[in-house]
Amino acid sequence: MTKKLRKILFIICGILAAGILLYLLYRDYRPEIDLLMHPGKDMKTKLLYLLRQHEVRDGLFLLGLITILNAIPGMSNSVFCILAGLCYGPWIGLAINWCGNVLGNCIVESLIKRVSFSHKFKKNRFLNWLMNQKHPTLGMTLGFMVPVIPSVLVDYTAARLETPPNKFLSMVIVGMFPTSFIYAFGGDAIFNGDIKKLAGALIGIAILFIMAWWLVNRASRKKQKAA
């Protein structure tokens, strides 16, 4: 089997697994969906009560979905990370998000050498910026922190630079904490109607996007100099 065909097969399997988990979550969240579709008296109170009644099983479904969506290039798991905080509170939500994001990146990094990547992917400005860092560990950790930079670029960099597994795991654990934390606490703030916490989460997201803007400028300037 060629590396290109293997890549397509991995992506198809990931999408199918995500679809199954989405169906299972839809089935368990059907009461909340019905309530939103047909709002009635005390809808908010009933909805908030139902959201916090979900069992360990749904937490595992969310964990699996966050993991898979993190591993599929081009997919976003942010909605489900917020849902984890909304349904399970800030700390359990953080654990679900963090574990899912770490596992997703570990899976991708382990598969990098078994699949092929396009010429366009290899010429990506973020990838070039990551590959040419004086301190690659710091650069890759920052790459994991910024939502704008696809995690697969950082995973690819780690594989190409032959980063030791223990160092890669440390980078992922540290790098994926900020977004996992912000989404979990943001979801809990939405549940409690806590404006201060929600504002804090939005400020955190804004800081990450400022970091992204800075990294984009750095990557663009480096590409122009190389040209």
Q: Which residues of 186-203 are buried (b: 16+ CB within 10 A; e: fewer)?
A: bbbbbbeeeeebbeebee
pTM of the model: 0.84
Contact 87, 58 (CB under 8 A): yes
Q: What's residue 65's pLDDT? A: 96
pLDDT at residue 198 above 80? no
| Mean pLDDT score, 44-67 | 89
Q: Name the residue with higher pLDDT: 132 or 78.
A: 78
Q: Render pLDDT for 73-99 as a digit per residue (tens, 0 to 9).
A: 888 898 999 999 988 988 999 999 999
Q: Are 1 and 62 in contact (CB under 8 A)?
A: no
The residue assigned the tokens 């969506």 is 69
Task: Report the alpha-carbon distance of residue 11 to residue 7 in Å, rounded.
Answer: 6
Instruction: Please say whether the beta carbons of 66 and 59 come within 8 A.
Output: no
Domains in the chain: boundaries: 3-226
Does residue 118 have a pLDDT over 70?
yes
User: What integer is the mean pLDDT of 143-159?
Assistant: 87
Percent of the chain whose pLDDT exceeds 70: 93
Taking alpha carbons only, the member of 175, 111, 117 closest to residue 141 is 175
The CA distance from 146 to 155, in Å, is 14
Question: What rounded mean pLDDT belongs to the chain?
Answer: 85
